[in-house]
Structure 1
Amino acid sequence: MSRLLFVVPPLVGHINPTVGVAAELTARGHRVAWACPDPELVGRLAGPGAGTVFACAGTPQGERPADLRGPEALKFLWEWYLLPLALAMAPGVRAAVEAFRPDVVVADQQAFAGALVAERLGLPWATSATTSAEFTDPLSGLPKVSRWLTERLAELRVAVGDPAGVDDPRFSPRLVLAFSTPELAGGSRDAVRWVGPSITARPSTAGFPWEWLDPGRVTVLVTLGTANTDVGGRFLDTCRSALRERADRVQGVIVDPGGTLEPGGDGDGEDVLVVPSVPQLALLERGVGAVVCHAGHNSVCEALWHGVPLVVAPIRDDQPVVAGQVVDAGAGVRVRFGRVTAQKLGAALDSVLDDPAHRAAADRIRTAFRAAGGASAAAVHLEELAREFR
């Protein structure tokens, strides 16, 4: 029996893929614990069998400007969130390691404290790569930003890790669990194990009106994930207009957790359902013709796990890279989040619904995803790493 500590940021999209892995490890007789700035979130997502959850500091200060895009948005993400998060989490992660005494630390790719604390204490660590964007070197065309980032990571290592260390805290030299496959993400690098999405059952969302779904029309799901409620109002309204124009053959489910959409007249509730949340996996399993989303890695992988093509409208962070992967794989169409009109969005939606090539590409990725092994394959790799160092 081994002991594994998962170090995760307080972000749903980064915790969800590891939940199934942790559950698989527990079922195999191993002990699992977590270190996270939001223990309640881990408990809610992982359920009553989550194991011990150690609290860490790590809450961003101030507000993130909603209109930042491109390199400025990426640099701001690092300055405002990722680097301060690592510094804030480090003492709590070290305390968790000392209390739990893990054989292996499983560090999220954006929770650098996990990798650097493990490095400092001489523990083996694996990377949990819950987005495939880093594998494409998104900073290759931005040498100044890349150099700035290298300098910041070096400073962070001196403060948190082993000053003599040389490994990039985003990529374990021993094991990187990539929750995707080359069929979507493209190339690879040393130590990467492509395990595919970790898709596991989640607590059901009570109250979804399943009887509302019309079997005579195609269902389109529109979602911007859990972290974009501050910028999505205009885009969701554009989607609603495009869906209404196709109400003879399409019905839309729009997820609006922030309540940004104003009541839209007679079409709401009949042709377009606006709800604060949905049981996304259950809805995809029931049958969805297309997903319109922000190209968040989890949303994209969950759609493609079910063979559903996408319209992607990336906003920031890794989303433009993931959107590019979807388009390059032939599984969807990209639109501009801030400028798309109902006419252009409708044309993109028509394309993914009517062109069989998009669904064929989505089916191809679905097959690759399901063959990769998911949570079970990830657990096997972690077991092997733990045995190597016991």
Structure 2
Amino acid sequence: MGSYLITTTPAHGHVAPLLTIARHLIARGHRVRFLTGAKYADAVTAAGAEFLPIPPESDIDLDRVGELFPERAGLAGPAAIRFDLRNIFFTPARGQYDALVAAIEAEPTDAVLTEGLYLGGALLALRPRSERPPIVALGIFPLGAPSRDTAPFGVGMIPMGGWIGRLRNRVMTTIADKVIFGPVLEEADALAREIVGRSFEGSFLTWNVRADALVQFTVPSFEYPRSDLPSTVTFAGPLPWMPPAAVALPDWWDELDGSRPIVHVTQGTVANADFSSLVRPTIDGLAERDDLLIVVTTGGRPVDTLGPVPANVRVGSYLPYRELFPKLDVLVTNGGYGGVQQALAHGIPLVVAGQTEDKIEVTARVGWSGAGINLKTNKADAAKLARAVDTVLRDPSYRAAAQRIGADMRTTDALAALDGVLERVVALPTA
């Protein structure tokens, strides 16, 4: 059996999907070591993998970035990405790389599996293939592969066809590389030369498509078409959903009987410190709608932190999503990649409002695909949100698009696809 090393930045949205992969590999008899932040040691051990810690000076908890970096508040789009790259990803890169190299030197490793924001993996990929194991990048966020057919990643622009679209993309890419991200790209190259002795080949933001393989956990119908897609990319479909420990059904569960449409709103388990971003606007915008039932999860926070709610709202700290999703008519969300894909897998149309981190690209794809409405904001207006929900409920094209993507997703087996990629890259000769 094989020996695999999984690496990820310490954030719930990064660690959770990679733990699903770890469990799968272990169930197939492989040895798995898992390199991440100390906060996740117990979760890694519970999954059956060996926990390896990122050095303390590089162990930045991405779920607490608002607390650790209060100056980040209010940033969105490229400005937020620049800030994050400098302060959250460049700073820990050396420690990530040193820990990764030490783990490889400690014992034979058939392949390194890493998500794209673990810069230690990006730095290792710069070394000649003969000096390192194969590197498999794990696409747990929207695909950022550069293309003549797409705008640069991070600006949230959907594709435009024809020569005008390609001209726009070329101009936007030049602006992004030279102006928007130019200084941070230079910093990344300087960091790479200092640590590895060579610069990134092209933008480090797209290093993962130059890995030995990139397994993108979605389907082509939820990703922008690229006529020049790199051969390293494999679309695997979404990872299977691994819900948290069993959640008891709330006492109002029997009201979800299909007698009226159900709208579910969530800000996830991380970006839920301020419910005024999305949850309260949904509640307030639909407060007088007795024809709808609004189901809210506070993402683990106490229910009473939400304050008073109208008669058509039901609230839970956590909810049993496996049972809830088949009952939903609309999902209102800030655009987490995994949650959006789970909704689509169930054929649920969406209303999305998120412009930070990768969410600007997730929400753009929701609007582009026709599976929902992108409000293009971080803080939704109650009246606009209510109109969007009504539109999605009234216009069958949104559900039809979501169901079309969902049908594509249900034909996939993401973990089997990953197995095939691993078998291929491990067998490749070193160059």
Match of 2:213 in 1: 175
**Whole-Å Cα distance in 1 between the matches of residues 337 and 369 of structure 2?**
14
Match of 1:353 in 2: 393
Compute the displacement of 1:227 (Å): 2.8
Counterpart contact for 2:263–2:292, Cα < 8 Å = no
Pair 203,232 (structure 1): closer, same or farther in 2 beyond 3 Å = closer
Match of 1:344 in 2: 384
Select which of 270, 281, 286 maps to 1:243.
286
Select which of 237, 261, 264 maps to 1:221.
264
Match of 2:60 in 1: 59
Compute the displacement of 1:262 (Å): 4.1
Match of 1:114 in 2: 121
- Equivalent residues in 2 for 1:1-390 (5 A)? 1-38=1-38, 40-41=39-40, 43-44=42-43, 48-57=46-55, 58-59=59-60, 61-117=68-124, 119-120=126-127, 121-135=131-145, 136=150, 137-138=152-153, 140=173, 141-142=175-176, 143-163=178-198, 166=201, 168=204, 169-188=207-226, 189-190=229-230, 191-209=232-250, 211-214=252-255, 215=257, 216-258=259-301, 261-265=305-309, 267=310, 271-284=312-325, 286-338=326-378, 340-389=380-429
* 3-state SS of paired residue (2:179): helix
**Whole-Å Cα distance in 2 between the matches of residues 65 and 213 of structure 1?**
42
User: How far does the alpha carbon of each residue in 1:85-139 deviate from its partner, in whole angstroms, 9 at most, with x for none?
Assistant: 3233222222222234311111110101023235444221111111115235325
Counterpart contact for 1:107–1:127, Cα < 8 Å = yes
Counterpart contact for 1:197–1:374, Cα < 8 Å = yes
**Whole-Å Cα distance in 2 between the matches of residues 192 and 106 of structure 1?**
14
User: How far does the alpha carbon of each residue in 1:203-247 deviate from its partner, in whole angstroms, 9 at most, with x for none?
Assistant: 334334165242123222211223312444343211111232223
- TM-score normalised by L of structure 2: 0.81
Counterpart contact for 2:260–2:292, Cα < 8 Å = yes
Q: Which runs of 5 or more residues in structure 1 are unaligned? A: none
Pair 309,12 (structure 1): closer, same or farther in 2 beyond 3 Å = same
**Whole-Å Cα distance in 2 between the matches of residues 340 and 112 of structure 1?**
33
Counterpart contact for 1:35–1:54, Cα < 8 Å = yes
* 3-state SS of paired residue (1:362): helix
User: How far does the alpha carbon of each residue in 1:248-270 deviate from its partner, in whole angstroms, 9 at most, with x for none?
Assistant: 232322335455954215x2xx5
Compute the displacement of 1:336 (Å): 4.3
Pair 363,288 (structure 1): closer, same or farther in 2 beyond 3 Å = same
**Whole-Å Cα distance in 2 between the matches of residues 148 and 65 of structure 1?**
18
**Whole-Å Cα distance in 1 between the matches of residues 29 and 306 of structure 2?**
50
**Whole-Å Cα distance in 2 between the matches of residues 209 and 48 of structure 1?**
27
Higher relative contact order (CA 8 A, sep 6+): 1
User: How far does the alpha carbon of each residue in 1:143-185 deviate from its partner, in whole angstroms, 9 at most, with x for none?
Assistant: 3123223212212322433527647433334200111122111
**Whole-Å Cα distance in 2 between the matches of residues 165 and 359 of structure 1?**
42
Counterpart contact for 2:112–2:135, Cα < 8 Å = yes
**Whole-Å Cα distance in 2 between the matches of residues 381 and 165 of structure 1?**
24
Counterpart amino acid of 1:358? Answer: Y
Counterpart contact for 2:263–2:329, Cα < 8 Å = yes
Counterpart contact for 1:128–1:178, Cα < 8 Å = yes
Counterpart amino acid of 2:233? Answer: V
Counterpart amino acid of 1:228? Answer: A
Counterpart contact for 1:33–1:53, Cα < 8 Å = yes
Counterpart amino acid of 1:93? Answer: L
**Whole-Å Cα distance in 1 between the matches of residues 17 and 308 of structure 2?**
35
* 3-state SS of paired residue (2:324): helix
Counterpart contact for 1:311–1:349, Cα < 8 Å = yes
Aligned pair count? 384
* 3-state SS of paired residue (2:264): strand
Counterpart amino acid of 2:217? Answer: F
* 3-state SS of paired residue (1:152): helix
